[in-house]
Amino acid sequence: MAVDIKLKRANKVYHEEETLSGVVILTSKEPIQHQGITLTMDGAVSLQLSAKSVGVFEAFYNSVKPIQLISNNIEVAKAGKFPSGRTEIPFEFPLKVKGSKVLYETYHGVFVNIQYTLRCDVRRPLLAKDLMKSCEFILHSLPQKGRLTPSPVDFSITPESLQNVRERTPLPGFKIRGRLDSTNCIITQPLTGELMVENLDVPVKSIELQLVRVETCGCVEGYARDATEIQNIQIADGNICQGLAIPIYMVFPRLFTCPTLETTNFKVEFEVNVVVILQDDHLITENFPLKIYRF
C-alpha cells in the first residue's frame, strides 16, 4: 500500500488568504482496513546557532524552539475500509492566520529556515504499520503595490579605497570601476550592472560575483550574526582587456533568497560581493548590501 499527496498547483506556490487544495492518493493491490486518515498543515521558522555562537548564547541555544506561524489539522477519512486500486480523497486548507501573526515567505537558509509542510497520517489496525507521507509547499509573500525606486551605485576600487589591508603588505597598482543598476532589487528580476578594469599592474586571474545571506538570530542576551555564501558566479576568466565593460547579471535563486526580512527574533538580509582575484593570488573584494522586495 502507498500514500501520496498531490497539490492542485504544479508549482506548489501559494499566497496568504488563498486556499491550499489537492488530493490524498491511496493505492493498494487489495482492500485496505484503516483506523482513520488525518492531514496536518504546518508552517514554522526554525532558528539555529552557528558553532561559534553556541557558548556565547547558551541560554538561547537551550530555549530555541521553532516559531509556529500556522497549524491546522483535519480528518480526511474516518476509520473504515478502502477498495483495492486507486482512491483519491480531496482536501482544502485556508491559508489564514489568527491574530497578528504573519506568514513569512518560504526560505531555506543555514541558520534560519522558513518552511511549510503537509503531512498525511494513515492509522492502520494493530499489527499493520502506520503510513506517513509529507510534502512541502511554497508560500510567497503578497506583492507590494506601487513601483520600486531604483538605487543605482557607482563604485571605484583602488588600493587607497580598500579597508582591512594588512600593514606593510605591498599592493599592486589598480583601478576598477563599475556600477550596479540598483541595490533595491525585485526578487523575480536579475541584479544587473557593469564592471571595467581601467588600470592594473598584475594580470587578473578571475572576477566573481558572490551572493551572501546574512542571518541574525537574537534573544535577550544578544544577537548572533552569520554570513554565508549562497552562490558564486564567475563573470570574467583570465587576464581581461583593460577598458572593456564586463556585464554584471545575477538571477536570485528560488527558495535560497526571499524578500529582506526583519522581525523581533530574527533577520534575513542579503549582500553581494564583487571579488577580483589577481594572478599573484591577491584578493580584492567590494561589498554591497542589497534590499530585496517582491513586487
Mean pLDDT, residues 199-210 taken together:
95
* pLDDT confidence of residue 232: 98
* pLDDT confidence of residue 178: 97
pLDDT in tens, 72-109: 999 999 999 999 999 999 999 999 998 888 999 999 99
* pLDDT confidence of residue 195: 97
Mean pLDDT of the chain: 92
Separation in Å, CA 68 to CA 20, 42, 46: 18, 8, 9
Which are the contacts of 25, defined by CB distance < 8 A and separation ≥ 6? 3, 4, 5, 6, 86, 87, 88
| Residues facing residue 275 across a β-bridge | 208, 285
Residue 274 and residue 195 in contact, taking contact as beta carbons nearer than 8 Å = yes
Predicted confidence band of residue 167 (pLDDT cuts 50, 70, 90): low
Predicted confidence band of residue 50 (pLDDT cuts 50, 70, 90): confident
Distance in angstroms (rounded) separating the CA atoms of residues 286 and 234? 15
Nearest CA among 234, 152, 252 for reference residue 193: 152
More confident residue, 36 or 56: 36
Q: Is the pLDDT of residue 54 over 70?
A: no
Distance in angstroms (rounded) separating the CA atoms of residues 47 and 270? 17
Compute and round to an integer the Cα radius of gyration of the chain: 25
* pLDDT confidence of residue 132: 97
SS3 of residue 38 by DSSP: strand
Q: Is the pLDDT of residue 38 over 90?
A: yes
* pLDDT confidence of residue 234: 98
Query: How would you classify residue 146: left for phi > 0, otherwise alpha for psi between -120 and 50, otherwise beta?
Result: left
Mean pLDDT, residues 28-44 taken together:
96
Q: Is the pLDDT of residue 162 over 70?
A: yes
Cell of 281: 593570488
Mean pLDDT, residues 166-176 taken together:
80
Q: Is the pLDDT of residue 63 over 70?
A: no
Distance in angstroms (rounded) separating the CA atoms of residues 126 and 124? 7
Q: Is the pLDDT of residue 166 over 70?
A: no
Helix (H) or strand (E) holding 205: strand 204-219
Q: Is the pLDDT of residue 61 over 70?
A: no
* pLDDT confidence of residue 263: 93
Distance in angstroms (rounded) separating the CA atoms of residues 11 and 8? 9
Distance in angstroms (rounded) separating the CA atoms of residues 208 and 3? 46
Q: Is the pLDDT of residue 222 over 80?
A: no
